[in-house]
Chain A
Amino acid sequence: MMRIEYICEKISNNIAQELNLDDDKRSVINYGIFAFIQMGICIVLVIVFGFIFNVVLESLIISFTISILRKSSGGVHASSPGRCAIIGTIASVGMGLISKHINVSFSLVILIGSIIFIWSYYIVSELAPVDSIAKPIKSIKKRNRLKKSSMVILSVYLIIVIINNLYFYFMKNSNVLVYSLCIYMGLLWQVFSLTKYGYLVMGKFK
């Protein structure tokens, strides 16, 4: 099987050669192409498997909840793009299935949500951003900016969940409760990946 890195390397080498670019520019182009392709593959896999298991929307909500927060908060990483795509797909579709088929009352959704959000705010304020060896964050200014944006994203999720739950309370549309559960699960997964226990558990699949 052709590795994504190899394909990206070939494309960026070709572009750099044709346009007479130096090695720095070639490595930036390679990094950008890889980011684009990896993101595309992850989203397509979630859509395909979500479609197979009839949880496309739920899986996409979970996947986007994880990834949007992840861009600011960081977290544990897989050792290869293939494993990352597999873990991400299984997690998003699996949690999508649970969210869709679990039967929970409105009061329990409120209770679970309150616990998850309080815990998330605490962990994000204490630990985010969690960097990696491949992309260390040394600048204090950048760390503060990323922590602040993580808190803002968390607050946006909270507002969406509150609107969802209010909509259910007045309109009795059970679909919106499922969407709230999807946001809870995505949040739980991403915030857990910031903790040392997240590193220990995810390390087993790395």
Chain B
Amino acid sequence: MKNRILMGIATVATIFASIVATSACYWSSYQPEEPKCLRDDE
């Protein structure tokens, strides 16, 4: 049960991170370091 909850949080957080990754910046005016695996280095 605990793992299911953690998996749910992890999934939601990953979806949220992907949404933020496709935009220019966060919702607010602070931008933390973006994880390297989410960056597009083209």
Show the binding face of A for B, using Cβ within 8 Å: 5, 11-12, 14-15, 18-19, 21, 24-25, 27-36, 38-39, 42, 67, 70-81, 83-85, 87-88, 128-132, 134-142, 146, 193, 202
Q: Is the interface of A mostly helix, strand, loop or mixed?
A: helix
Q: Contacts A132-B25, A137-B24 given: A81-B9 contact, CB under 8 Å?
A: no
User: CB distance A35 to B16 under 8 Å?
Assistant: yes
Max chain B CB contacts within 10 Å: which of A32, A36, A135, A137? A32
Q: Which B residues, 10 to 38, have Cβ-Cβ distances below 8 Å to chain A?
A: 10, 12-18, 20, 23-38
B13 contact from A32, A72, A76, Cβ within 8 A: A32
User: CB distance A134 to B39 under 8 Å?
Assistant: no
Q: Can you list 19 A-B contacts with CB-CB less than 8 angstroms, sorted by A residue number?
A: A15-B6, A27-B36, A30-B13, A31-B17, A32-B12, A32-B14, A32-B17, A33-B9, A38-B27, A39-B26, A42-B27, A67-B27, A67-B28, A71-B26, A71-B27, A76-B29, A131-B25, A138-B40, A138-B41
Q: Contacts A32-B20, A130-B24 given: A27-B35 contact, CB under 8 Å?
A: yes
Shortest distance between the CB of B7 and any CB in chain A (Å): 6
User: CB distance B17 to A35 under 8 Å?
Assistant: yes
User: CB distance A139 to B40 under 8 Å?
Assistant: yes
User: CB distance B33 to A141 under 8 Å?
Assistant: no
CA distance A194 to B39 in the complex (A): 22
**CB-defined contacts of B12 to chain A, threshold 8 Å:** 32, 36
Show the binding face of B for A, using Cβ within 8 Å: 2-3, 6-7, 9-10, 12-18, 20, 23-42
**CB-defined contacts of A142 to chain B, threshold 8 Å:** 40, 42
CA distance A169 to B17 in the complex (A): 43
**CB-defined contacts of A78 to chain B, threshold 8 Å:** 29-30
Shortest distance between the CB of B16 and any CB in chain A (Å): 4
User: CB distance B7 to A19 under 8 Å?
Assistant: yes
CA distance A132 to B3 in the complex (A): 36
**CB-defined contacts of A24 to chain B, threshold 8 Å:** 35-37
Additional pairs, 18, CB under 8 Å, beyond known A32-B17, A35-B27, A36-B12: A14-B6, A15-B10, A19-B3, A24-B37, A25-B14, A27-B36, A28-B37, A29-B13, A29-B17, A70-B24, A128-B24, A132-B25, A135-B25, A135-B31, A138-B42, A140-B42, A142-B40, A193-B29
For A67, give the chain B residue with the smallest CB separation: B27
